[in-house]
Amino acid sequence: MPTLPVPYPFAIPPRTPDVNAVEAWQTALDDSGELSPDVVDRILKLHGERGAKAIEAVAEERVKEYNDFTVVVGHEDEYVVEDGACQCRDAQYNLDADDPTALCWHVIAVHIAERVGKVDYHDMWYSDVREFL
């Protein structure tokens, strides 16, 4: 029996994450500098509840930048976002590391806050602040 070449000519290619959707709302924010209804809609369609939580955190000025880290203040804890990554449980256990659109709400909030000028900057080290918490 002859073997078919791999990959099969009729094979469905694997789904690749739509990183362009993330870049689209980020570019729109870069261009406008504000959360327009169109950008909010894009974020919510792509990120759902995580996007809504991120928008809420930005509106409530809960994205804080220190000399060493950016921190998103949650309702129960503070979450360090560094180099576009977060160590929260959602990011560790629920998100596909191979999907660039799979972001926790803390990372989404940082992306939004940076682009709309809503990062609350503190000229101090978070590691020093953390000692008081």
Asked if residue 6 is part of any domain, the answer here is no
Predicted local distance difference test score (pLDDT) of residue 133: 57
Asked if residue 111 is part of any domain, the answer here is yes
Asked if residue 9 is part of any domain, the answer here is no
Asked if residue 11 is part of any domain, the answer here is no
- How many structural domains comprise the chain? 1
Work out the average pLDDT over 121-127.
90
Q: Where are the beta strands (DSSP E) in 9-132?
A: 63-65, 70-73, 78-82, 85-86, 120-121
pLDDT of 11 > 50? The answer is no
pLDDT of 33 > 80? The answer is yes
Predicted local distance difference test score (pLDDT) of residue 19: 62
Asked if residue 75 is part of any domain, the answer here is yes
Asked if residue 92 is part of any domain, the answer here is yes
pLDDT of 123 > 90? The answer is yes
What is the C-alpha to C-alpha distance for residues 79 and 69, in angstroms, rounded to an integer? Answer: 10
Asked if residue 58 is part of any domain, the answer here is yes
Predicted local distance difference test score (pLDDT) of residue 79: 95
Q: What DSSP state is assigned to residue 26?
A: H
- Print the domain residue range for 64: 20-27+35-130
pLDDT of 98 > 50? The answer is yes
